[in-house]
Structure 1
Amino acid sequence: MGKRLNLTKTPALVSRRSVLAGSLVLGAGAMLPACKPIMSGLLTGADAHPGDYPTVRAVEFMGRYIAKRTGGRLGIKVFAGGQLGNETDTLEITSFGGIDLNRINFAPLNSFEPMTLPFSLPFIFDSVSHMRRVVDSEVGDAVLASLEPHKLIGLCIYDSGARSFYNARRPITVPADMKGLKIRVPASDLYIAMVNALGANAVPIPFSEIYQSLAQGVIDGAENNWPTFVSERHYEVAKYLSLTQHLLTPETLVMSKDSWDRLQPADQALMREAAKASVIEMRRLWDIRVAEAKATVAASRVEVNEVETQPFAELMRPVWDQFITTPAQKRVVQRILEMKEG
């Protein structure tokens, strides 16, 4: 038996479990059998991103791909916008087979699988092309394979963009500019350590509360990618965007191992083929989305400044040492660094 995820259970999760157990279907109204092979029907997919987000559209592309190759025998129905819960909730549900497919950020995976941590290190990647080269290599394959003992099959790795700091107080050009700033971070030990190491004060608050917290001065700033900065309207209340590009942490599409094991071998191969094809589509859509976001910001009153990242990166050594502790993790880090351009 594989290991189950040890995530905190909440009343909301129990409620969603009950709903999923009674309502997820396979094909035309048939209840999802826990022990029978998946021969035909719709696989369920979860994504916390909105319906027009590149990862959602990429998994929908994957659904059309497998539908075409199977003559409509298999397909994918994506529940976007967090309809099935937040990422922590859906990750656990996926691990025991309540959801077939799940697009997930690497941050929730860090808490139980050490091999996912190298991809989440600040300044580990020096460009989008570097990140893509790494995740497309044997390094990406090894990280995906590390999820199987947790009842998850890693199918592919998607982009999540370059994350930079934005705030309502001042431009950030050197680490000293971050001193005293209250910066929102996800509830992640690594993110908290990173921001505190840069001299700011990490404030873990829910993603949905960032806009209001910025507007009311509860926080001074946050950090995220170009599309999120625009789509969540954070650029309306944070007038300084500093291109630190401190994180290029990717995201991944996982499948429940229970669901995977019930697929025929030929369909398993098709799922991997479709997932690989969906990465190309996701990157095409992502690059368009980034260009659109940059154009929106350029037409706004936001002040954007370039940043010499080396002084910031030098402050991350204690953070790397805190989270990279095993020989296997260190080998992955070394391989990533070896694959930098130049």
Structure 2
Amino acid sequence: MLKLTSASAAVAVLSTILLSTSTLAADVKERTLKFGYSTFEAHPLGQGANKFVELVGKKSDGKIKMKVYPATQLGSETQTISATQGGVQDIVGTSTAPLTGLVKEYAIFDFPFLFANAKEADAVVDGPVGQTLLAKLSEKNLAGLCFFENGFRNVTNSKRPITKGEDVAGLKIRTMQNPVYIDSFKALGANAVPMPWPEVYTALESGAIDAQENPYGIISVNKLNEVQKYISVTKHAYSPWAMIMSKKLWDDLSNDERKIFVDSCNEAKEFQRKFSREEDAKIVADLKSKGMAINELSPEEVAKIKATLQPVIDKYSATVGADLVKQAQASIAATQ
């Protein structure tokens, strides 16, 4: 009798699971979505994107599929953000810098030397500041899912090692089309040249510009070692990478489908960040073996550069808003 009761209980539990599963399946439609981003598939961001696609497929029982277009196949970051706003593209992965034209508060991620390490960056992008910024995208026909990591940005150039702020002066440096970056490098005496990413390699190769700044992964997969001699480990900014969906698509999703996308993004971001940080050390060794000269900046010189850039930080703190800046500072302080 006891065995029968146990068996009956097991059947009841199994029936509940099957009913739950069938209910979930009923709330997930067959979809094929267009997902585009700017970097190469081999980059840690591309690997994170692949993990996201895999997880969405698994959690939707294969019903939600994605056609993935890496390496600016669908256009620059600015173009693909616009296409996603219009619902022509379903999902975009993008640096946060181009988003400042839509939501001015995203400029907080461009503040020079805001983060000292990855732990501080994670606390801000995964905390109240990050959630506030993702939510603000809904006002612009977009739906924010989560943040991957592009990484800490360093300066490369073809002229000289940068060991102090004065070494930046006179360099023609490509920056993203973003006012904080432009003002920051101008404050150091550089000729800041905003330029879409697909044009950068050719401009460096021809000598139209001398320098650019990006995380190690971008430097490596785009083979900038072929047109740049020096990497200076400035770590002057940390660059998150936003995973964003068209609001048109988001509004069409069931609650179960929304949960699939958000959960998949949050799982994929953990994989992607770990992969990115493990790759950095390998990339540095590889770039050295290919002839790039890599130098560190002393803490004293970093402090001097940050002091030079304080007026830029003050200017954009007013734009971003004192409350958001305080939230970011509180999240950073909580990691100490």
**TM-score computed with the length of structure 1 as normaliser:** 0.83
Other-structure match for 1:140? 130
Q: Deviations over 1:11-34 (max 9, x none)?
A: xxxxxxxxxxxxxxxxxxxxxxxx
Q: Distance in 1 between the 2:230 and 2:43 partners? A: 25
Indicate whether 1:273 and 2:263 are aligned.
yes
Q: Distance in 1 between matches of 2:210 and 2:179?
A: 20
Q: CA deviation at 1:210?
A: 3.0
CA RMSD between the two structures = 1.9
Shift of 1:113: 0.5
CA distance in 2, matches of 1:90, 1:215: 26
Task: Say if 1:151 and 1:258, in contact at 8 Å, map to a contact too.
Answer: yes
What residue is the counterpart of 1:240 in the other structure? 230
* 1:267-311 deviations in Å (ceiling 9; x for gaps): 111211111111012113212332321111232332211113111
Find 2:81's aligned residue among 85, 91, 103: 91
Structure 1 residue 214: deviation in Å?
3.0
**Are the aligned partners of 2:156 and 2:229 in contact in 1 as well (CA < 8 Å)?**
yes
Q: Structure 1 regions of 5+ residues with no counterpart?
A: 1-36
**Counterpart in the other structure of 1:126:** 116
CA contact (8 A) 2:28 2:256 kept: no
CA contact (8 A) 2:60 2:260 kept: no
Q: Secondary structure at the match of 2:50?
A: helix
| Displacement of 1:52 | 2.3
1:330 paired residue number: 322
After TM superposition, the structure 1 stretch with the greater mean CA deviation from structure 2, 304-313 or 292-301, is 292-301
* Alpha-carbon separation, structure 1, partners of 2:165 and 2:172: 14
Identity %: 30
Larger helix proportion of the pair: 2
Alignment of 1:32-71 (within 5 A): 39-71=29-61
| Cα displacement (A) at 1:64 | 2.0
Could you report, residue by residue, the CA deviation over 1:154-191 in whole angstroms, capped at 9, with x for unpaired residues? 10001111111121222111111122122121222221
CA deviation profile, 1:33-59 (whole Å, cap 9, x unmatched): xxxx97212222111112223223323
The higher radius of gyration belongs to 2
CA–CA distance in structure 2, aligned partners of residues 76 and 212 of structure 1 = 31
Which residues of 2 match residues 1-342 of structure 1 at below 5 A? 39-307=29-297, 308=299, 309-326=302-319, 329-338=321-330, 339-340=332-333, 341-342=335-336
Distance across 2 between alignment mates of 1:244 and 1:76: 37
1:122 and 1:74, CA in 2 relative to 1: closer, same or farther beyond 3 A?
Answer: same
Q: TM-score w.r.t. structure 2 length?
A: 0.85
Q: 1:208 to 1:44 in 2, by over 3 A?
A: closer
The Cα of 1:336 is off from its aligned counterpart by: 2.0
| Equivalent position SS for 1:203 | strand
Alignment check: 8 A CA contact 2:72 2:198 kept: no
Range that drifts further, 100-109 or 298-307 = 298-307
